[in-house]
Amino acid sequence: MPECPSSEVRKKLEILRNRFQDKTIGDIEGLVASIFSASMRPEAVSELVAAYQLLHRLAGSAGTLGFTQLGEQARKLELAIKPLADQVTEGAEREYVQQQLKQLLASGFEKDLLGLGSLLGVADPVSTGWHKPLPVESVNRFVLLILDPDHQYRDLLAQGLALYGYEVRSLSSAEQWPSSMGDVDLVMIRDTLLQDESASWLARLHKLPVICFSEAHDFATRYRLARLNVDACVDGLLDIPSLADLVEQLLAEGLATLSGKVMIVDDDKELLEHYRVVLTSGGMQVRAFDDPSRMLSELAEFRPDILLMDVQMGQYEGPVLARMLRFQAEWLSLPIIFFSSEADRDLQLDVLARGGDDFVTKPVSDEYLLRTVRIRCFRARQLDKLVSLDSLTGLLKHALAKTELNREHARAARSGHSSIVAMLDLDHFKRVNDSYGHGVGDMVIKALSNLLRHRLRSTDIIGRYGGEEFLVVLPECTLEKAVKVLEALNQDFAQLVFNGGSEEFAVTFSAGVASLNIYETGEQAIDAADRALYQRKRAGRNGVTVADENHS
């Protein structure tokens, strides 16, 4: 969700409210006049229909604009007048309706009606409430389906993977897979269930990532599995962390190809619209415009993965624009792709030299355009990840995590919400590395990373801060909630069983937590969380400790 300073929205609401007030004064005057004229002249009773509609409208809108009392009163009057309006519409005798209206007015309706205008002076304070981000513990859960005849194995697997935040369903055979179960994101299947290649359910695997449990390593079996669209093969050992890692990878690959952000600049409006429609319908996010002079502001706002533009647009030359963009370090790595109608090799080389990355020769088919753009976006995102994400864990690198923390510190100070910083550190990690080797150690680090990523919100900031140390920032979260979430993570992580060659083992972590708000700088908040972490370490590790300053 885009960041939106609440003061800005409040200001706009204030303006709207004033406008509504001005307009509604006249509406109410008209309403009063028409109801009175209906009570006096039978010819005018037809005006009751419009009066009813106006009251209905006010009942629905006044509250939204901050005039709750006016809205409630209008609702009351609306209900009272509705039977009369209905009679008018049904063609009842006018005098009869007029008679009832008179009675209604005498029974208090008149007083309420005349008081309506004054309620326009009673506005609620513009709410300071703000949209609630997702609750800390709620996450979008992926659904995994396990198909394996061995129910014990199935259950253990399901329990283990559930700890990573996946929703796991398990069945003993694919025949039991109900056609109504269409929300599965990934399938894990025992190779013996793939014997019958004529089974109709096999088609359901085509669109999903598939992991096969198979102990067979011979060429023929593996080739057959690959042909059946299996994406990955693991032997049946119960190594949950590695399996969770594989699941994570396969799901991420599926997601990465889904979308991307493209900006298109072309002075041919119809063509522009055509590109926009093609790419949008292909699932891309598109920002398209025909005036290159808007480029800088649009770029800053939209932050596309790639930029597509025409070589010549009116008075502007595409390659010059590309060179201009490269003035700003920000756009140095933005892939720029040109549309060019001429297949002129020299011109194309010239353009590449001046800051473009590639060409699409016009006319371009819709399918080609979409595929090119998809691939480019995917690559651009991968590159971007390489630069900013830790290669082992896929979490933010140290420096970037800190930048994000400082940004959140500023945001919290501005809007007054409470945010939390936590430092996490694996307990006795050196022993893991020494006893089982670095490969196993890396697996433990990855397991905690994946657990954090799955169980925290997508808006939370998670960084690998040092070797086995992690930085977590929970925006718009209370201290109590943060401690609860971290304690749950702590317990679940301790239950993961790692495979250290000859033996199985478990690892725990310690965490220190501090409120971002009560410190003057983000740096100080990190230090406080760090101190809390070391208190926890001294107090016996494996748990969550809150920084001293936060107890009051």
Partner 1 sequence: MPPENLKRILMVEDEPDIRTVAELALEAIGGYELTACESGQQALEQIGECRPQLIVLDVMMPGMDGPATLKAIRSLPDYANTPAVFMTAKVQSDEVQGYLELGAAGVIPKPFDPLTLADQIRDIWNEACAIG
* Region from 94-102, 125-133, 170-178, 500-508 binding partner 1, contact rule CB under 8 A: 125-133
Q: What are phi and psi of 437, to 5 degrees?
A: 95, 165
Pick the closer one to partner 1 by CB: 183 or 548.
Answer: 183
Six token digits for residue 524 = 């100080």
* Region from 5-13, 94-102, 381-389, 398-406 binding partner 1, contact rule CB under 8 A: 5-13
Instruction: Using CB under 8 A, pick the residue from 18, 40, 60, 343 that binds partner 1.
Output: 60
For residue 510, which of 444, 422, 435 has the smallest C-alpha distance? 422
- Between residue 169 and residue 208, which ones bind partner 1 under the rule CB under 8 A? 182-185
Q: Residue 23 interacts with partner 1 (CB under 8 A)?
A: yes
Six token digits for residue 399 = 């420096």
Q: Residue 329 interacts with partner 1 (CB under 8 A)?
A: no
Other beta carbons within 10 Å of 498: 20
Give the binding-site size for partner 1 (rule: CB under 8 A): 41
Pick the closer one to partner 1 by CB: 16 or 387.
Answer: 16
CB of 56 to partner 1, least distance (A): 6
Instruction: Using CB under 8 A, pick the residue from 7, 12, 226, 327 that binds partner 1.
Output: 12
CB 18 within 8 A of CB 12: no
* Region from 13-21, 300-308, 419-427, 434-442 binding partner 1, contact rule CB under 8 A: 13-21
Q: Residue 151 interacts with partner 1 (CB under 8 A)?
A: no
Other beta carbons within 10 Å of 532: 24
Query: What are the start-end ranges of the E strands in 173-277?
Result: 186-190, 210-213, 232-234, 261-265
Per DSSP, the three-state class of 490 is helix
Per DSSP, the three-state class of 336 is strand
Question: Can you tell me the distance from the alpha carbon of 17 to that of 5, in angstroms, rounded to the nearest whole number?
Answer: 19
- Between residue 263 and residue 302, which ones bind partner 1 under the rule CB under 8 A? 280-281, 285
CB of 174 to partner 1, least distance (A): 19
Instruction: Please give the biggest Cα pair distance in the chain.
Output: 99
Q: Residue 9 interacts with partner 1 (CB under 8 A)?
A: yes
Instruction: Using CB under 8 A, pick the residue from 30, 44, 75, 517 that binds partner 1.
Output: 75
CB of 166 to partner 1, least distance (A): 11
Q: How far apart are the first and last CA of the chain?
A: 34
Q: Residue 144 interacts with partner 1 (CB under 8 A)?
A: no
Element (H, E) at 444: helix 438-455
CB of 66 to partner 1, least distance (A): 9
Other beta carbons within 10 Å of 66: 20
Question: Can you tell me the distance from the alpha carbon of 391 to that of 381, in angstroms, rounded to the nearest whole number?
Answer: 14
CB of 465 to partner 1, least distance (A): 27
Element (H, E) at 288: strand 285-289
Q: What is the DSSP string of 253-272?
A: HHHHTT--EEEEE-S-HHHH
Per DSSP, the three-state class of 93 is coil
Q: Residue 260 interacts with partner 1 (CB under 8 A)?
A: no
Q: Residue 63 interacts with partner 1 (CB under 8 A)?
A: yes
Q: Residue 56 interacts with partner 1 (CB under 8 A)?
A: yes
* Region from 138-146, 232-240, 461-469, 498-506 binding partner 1, contact rule CB under 8 A: 138-146
* Region from 97-105, 129-137, 317-325, 489-497 binding partner 1, contact rule CB under 8 A: 129-137
Pick the closer one to partner 1 by CB: 178 or 182.
Answer: 182
Instruction: Using CB under 8 A, pick the residue from 26, 91, 125, 132 that binds partner 1.
Output: 132
Cross-strand pairs, 217: none
Q: What is the 3-state secondary structure (H, E, C) of 395-421?
A: CECHHHHHHHHHHHHHHHHHHCCCCEE
Q: How many residues does the chain have?
A: 552
Residue corresponding to tokens 């910083």: 421
CB of 2 to partner 1, least distance (A): 5
List residues near partner 1 by CB under 8 A: 1-2, 4, 8-9, 12-13, 16, 19-20, 23, 53, 56-57, 59-65, 68, 71, 75, 78, 127, 129-132, 140-143, 182-185, 280-281, 285
